């Protein structure tokens, strides 16, 4: 059975070989994320080249302005006092909170020099540091822009950390022609959600920092709001962070994690992302198989969406969805240059698969993230891929002129 929701896996020490990446791709991973917050630039570029050599898609997740632990590797205990200089943090005011490991470790400033540990745990070099009182971030940073220049012809996607506004995306696009994913993980990003969605190619609900920058109890409703807004705008949306966290060390997910993954599918996510589960996890393949099993079990229960259409292209998209359902079509076949029509159909969450034919490399990559969409890179989009069908299959075909989709017809194979 084809997964309608796509899986993104993070490469790390547990998945650093070609064989391990190949196995995850065979299980069903569509995109491989390289986290540029860890490892050297050349090392990460090598990872992207390895992914591309295997014929897979790569996402470069840029570091952004997030603070990182430097030169500190040990367990810290509740009640322990630690010098601020140990974490290389900016000057803090008494009472300001500091979170590590997406909020699992919590500290509080006793002064501008010392911190007290409120919730302890293992601290590792490179671990993200979050200070909720810091609200304004530069994104992308000068370092991000330098990375973009190095990978602009390599990576299929770049992910902009701490996207603040549409300007964050526009700035990155000056140096990059591929697909840009905006990570929503701050209150300002949430406030400027609509303009960010309009400018980005896809959006990520980055729940780790989002649940620290904003009250954690708001995260579920913010996730639903972001997904709904992306559906309305026909933009792919990714849900990420701690989806199967217990499987970093364990072999089986908690029931809460299973429910979380299933609910993300039901909410309408186009893709789900594994982070530490595949980067440093004890059994990355098991984590991907588990997520796949949950997706396959849940996807047929996703309810069809309804939207008000305002353009010819949107009306064609809705008609294609309705006709395919009525005649029980094998697929909806779209000829697309930008991916707009395919994404417009995909947002309705039809159970009929969409097969998108495109001559554009960037469009091919972008549609790999879209709900229930099979993206095919072709030399000639006028040719129907007959190998995907058998005699008697009904196919709904959308097509049009150079700049718009304005026609629809039913083809009997």
- What percent of the chain lies above the pLDDT cut of 70? 99
Task: Please write down the HEC assignment for all residues of 35-103.
Answer: ECCCCCHHHHHHHHHHHHHCCCEEEEECCCCCEECCCCCEEECCCCEEEHHHHCCCCCCCCCEEEEHHH
Angle in degrees, 0-180, between the axes of helices 284-298 and 255-267, rounded to the nearest 10? 50
What's residue 403's pLDDT? 65
Domains of the chain in sequence order: 6-64+139-298 (3.20.20.60), 67-130 (2.40.33.10), 312-412 (3.40.1380.20)
pTM: 0.91
pLDDT, greater one: 314 or 295:
295
Lowest mean pLDDT among 18-27, 193-202, 313-322: 313-322
Q: Facing residues of 105 across strands?
A: 100
Question: Residue 351 contacts by C-beta under 8 Å, 6 or more apart in sequence?
Answer: 4, 300, 304, 372
pLDDT at 90 over 80: no
- Each residue's pLDDT tens digit, 153-203: 999 999 999 999 999 999 999 999 899 999 999 999 999 999 999 999 999
On whether the CB atoms of residues 216 and 193 are closer than 8 A, the answer is no
What's residue 380's pLDDT? 81
What's residue 72's pLDDT? 83
- Place 102 in a pLDDT band, splitting at 50, 70 and 90: confident
- Each residue's pLDDT tens digit, 55-79: 999 999 999 987 888 788 889 999 9
- Place 402 in a pLDDT band, splitting at 50, 70 and 90: low
| Residue owning tokens 């309009």 | 198
């Amino acid at each position: 059975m084809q997964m309608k929701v796509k899986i993104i896996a993070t490469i790390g020490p547990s998945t650093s070989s070609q064989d391990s990446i190949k196995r995850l791709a065979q299980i069903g991973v569509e995109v491989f994320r390289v986290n540029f917050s860890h490892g050297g630039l050349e090392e990460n570029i090598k990872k992207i080249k390895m992914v591309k050599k295997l014929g897979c898609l790569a996402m470069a997740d840029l570091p952004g302005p997030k603070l990182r632990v430097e030169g500190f590797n040990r367990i810290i205990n509740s009640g322990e006092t630690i010098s601020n200089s140990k974490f290389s943090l900016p000057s803090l005011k008494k009472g300001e909170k500091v979170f590590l490991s997406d909020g699992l470790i919590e500290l509080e400033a006793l002064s501008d020099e010392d911190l007290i540990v409120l919730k302890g745990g293992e601290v590792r070099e490179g671990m993200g540091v979050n200070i909720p009182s810091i609200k304004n971030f530069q994104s992308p940073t000068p370092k991000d822009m330098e990375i973009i220049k190095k990978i602009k012809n390599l990576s299929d996607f770049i992910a902009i950390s701490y996207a603040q506004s549409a300007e964050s995306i526009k700035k990155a696009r000056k140096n990059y022609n591929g697909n840009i994913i905006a990570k929503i993980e701050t209150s300002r990003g949430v406030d400027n959600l609509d303009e960010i969605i309009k400018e980005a190619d896809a959006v990520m609900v980055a729940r780790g920092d989002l649940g620290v920058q904003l009250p954690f109890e708001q995260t579920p409703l913010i996730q639903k709001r972001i997904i709904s807004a992306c559906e309305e705008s026909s933009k792919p949306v990714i849900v990420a962070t701690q989806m199967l966290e217990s499987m970093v060390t364990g072999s089986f997910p908690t029931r809460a994690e299973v429910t979380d993954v299933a609910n993300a599918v039901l909410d309408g996510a186009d893709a789900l992302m594994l982070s530490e589960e595949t980067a440093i996890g004890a059994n990355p393949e098991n984590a991907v198989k588990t997520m796949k099993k949950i997706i396959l079990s849940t996807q047929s229960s996703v309810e069809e969406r309804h939207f008000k259409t305002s353009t010819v292209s949107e009306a064609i998209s809705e008609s294609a969805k309705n006709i395919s359902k009525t005649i029980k079509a094998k697929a909806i076949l779209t000829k697309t240059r930008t991916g707009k029509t395919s994404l417009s159909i995909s947002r309705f969450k039809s159970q009929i698969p969409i097969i998108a034919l495109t001559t554009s490399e960037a469009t091919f990559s972008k549609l790999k993230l879209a709900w229930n969409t099979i993206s095919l890179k072709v030399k000639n989009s006028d040719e129907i891929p007959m190998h995907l069908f058998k005699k008697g299959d009904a196919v709904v075909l959308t097509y049009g002129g150079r700049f718009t989709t304005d026609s629809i017809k039913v083809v009997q194979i």
